[in-house]
Amino acid sequence: MRKLQVQGVHHITLLGADRQTSIDFWEGLLGMPFVFDQPNLDNPGEGHLYFDPGDGRLITIFTNEDRVGSSRPKRPAPGEVHHLAFAVSRAVFLHAVERLDERGIGHSGVKDRGFMDSIYFRDPMGLLIELASYKFEPPFGFSHADVLHEAHLVRVERSEYAIADIHVADAIERLIARRQGSLSADRGPKDPYGETFD
């Protein structure tokens, strides 16, 4: 028995509202370039719009001119999508509240998640959307997932509730120590000043 090894998300397809509402949301609000469209090949009565979320992968939207948007919250049933999270830079994140407010879009405000900050709001069909911004950059040669895995191990060793900034900082130090050798016999922390400062 062998696995079917995946190598990342290929695309995500959502049921959207009408064509223009979908374009206005995915490109006009979230800045995803509208890269191409065609009919839904399984349902010719619908459109199929393709957007680039910033990493060259695709978010695709099935549109229907008879579907009317409603940003009312929806309670997903087990097995359904709860929310989609999109990465944004720290610079963009710092302006997200202001830019949602200027459009009159209700949102959660900034939520501190320990290793990242988040803001939540709804798409035109009521799906919960998250803008997420990591509080750290992984060291060269490592991914965010590598750092978070190591931070989890640090957190569990300390019997602490959730990943916090200190776990991430210590995880990064561990990863660098494993990746890069040193001529020093003792790589532990040192006080190079040997004195206290008032």
**119-161 residue pLDDT tens:** 999 999 999 999 999 999 999 999 999 999 999 999 999 999 9
Structure tokens at 118: 């988040």
For residues 116 and 133, the answer to whether their CB atoms sit within 8 Å is yes
**First vs last Cα of the chain: how many Å apart?**
65
pLDDT for 193 equals 84
Radius of gyration of the chain (CA): 22
Residues of the chain with pLDDT under 70: 195-198
pLDDT for 195 equals 65
pLDDT for 46 equals 96
Task: Specify burial of residue 5 (Cβ count, 10 A radius: 0-12, 13-18, 19+).
Answer: exposed
pLDDT for 196 equals 62
Rounded-to-integer distance, Cα 121 and Cα 106, Å: 6
The answer for residues whose C-beta is within 8 angstroms of residue 124's C-beta and 6 or more apart is 16, 17, 21, 22, 25, 69, 70, 71
Q: Rounded to two decimals, what is the model's pTM?
A: 0.88
Rounded-to-integer distance, Cα 111 and Cα 116, Å: 9
